[in-house]
Amino acid sequence: MSTNNISGSIPVGIGELKSLYIVDLSDNKLNGSIPSEIEGAISLSELKLQKNFLSGRIPSQIEKCSSLTS
C-alpha cells in the first residue's frame, strides 16, 4: 500500500494481525507514532514506513516481533 496518499495514524489494531508478514506503508501521509500494540504482529518480517510524517520513538515492544528483518 505504498504511495497511495494514505493519511491518518497507524491503527492500534495492527497488533491483532498475527499472520501479517509484510507491511509496506512507505511514501504516504501517515502521522502520529508507531503503536506499541505492534508487538502482537508476531509474524511480521518487514516493516516499511519511510517517507511519512511519523513522530516519536520506535516502541521498545517492537523487539517482540522476532522475525522482523527490515
Residue 36 pLDDT class (50, 70, 90 cuts): very high
Average pLDDT for residues 4-19, to the nearest whole number?
Answer: 94
Banded model confidence at residue 41, pLDDT cuts 50, 70, 90: very high
Q: Which three cell numbers stand for residue 31?
A: 502521522
Encoded amino acid at 63, one letter = E
Burial label, 62 (beta-carbon count in 10 A; 0-12, 13-18, 19+): middle
| Separation between Cα atoms, residue 52 and residue 43, nearest integer Å | 23
Q: Model's pTM, two decimal places? A: 0.84
Greater confidence, 70 or 7? Answer: 7
